[in-house]
Amino acid sequence: MDMATDPSVSFWIAAIIATLFVGMSKGGLPMMAMLGVPILSVFIAPGKAAGLLLPMYILADVYAVWLFRHSFSKRNVAILIPAAAIGVVVGFVLVSRVPVEATKLVVALIGLGYLANALRSRLAGDYAARPADVPRGLFWGALAGFTSYISHAGGPPYQAYTLPQRMAKMTFAGTAAIVFAAVNWMKLPFYVLAGQLDWQSLTQISILAPVALFGAWAGYRVTTVLPERAFFVLVNTALGLLSLKLLWEVAEAWL
């Protein structure tokens, strides 16, 4: 069912909810991002859903970068953005050769692997922060750019690299906002070339734009009032749920 020919109330309700979640994820609640494309995919093809939501990501990114302009890690941004650019280019080149399910499986294993290692460290009493470093940053940043391009799933690789650094919640959220703002701008011309985003999308985009901005504002407000511990519990819980969800999707596709 194509969004240009589906004016149904159900489609617009789903589009508004998906866009709101995208905006909230950019306001500092990354756990909301995993809901956008699946909600819209009930009505339109997943590729089209990703294409429609990309401008919403970009619009919310602009506002989020302004919101977090004083709260981010300069070192992480300097390492991760160039690394992610490599991943985006590789994703564009390999998108027709790498099954989406394979990418989802990798992302799921990364998320679950990180959580298992974090649990092991906690049980062992190892609470030391791991500083940002270039070799790990290049690897995880490139992987985040690649998985973000293939399936809007750059969060788990990013979190696997940044969560062990134990940054303050606003610094963690601000760094993510700036890094993925750059990633989404990098993806835009490739999405246009791939036909996932076209001029017919402009009407829907113009209608949904205020929802994305409101979502970013709402997400930022929630982030500022959440206690530090509760914020990271939510981030880790969402990472686990996303990983399990991706594993389920892979199992459904392959079995």
Q: Is the pLDDT of residue 129 over 90?
A: no
Rounded Cα distance between 4 and 70, Å, is 40
Evaluate if pTM is beyond 0.85: no
Q: Are 57 and 36 in contact (CB under 8 A)?
A: no
Reported as a single tens digit per residue, the pLDDT across 193-229 is 877 666 666 677 788 889 989 999 998 998 898 888 8
Question: pLDDT tens, 70-108?
Answer: 999 999 999 999 999 999 999 888 877 777 777 778 878
d(C-alpha 243, C-alpha 249), whole Å: 10
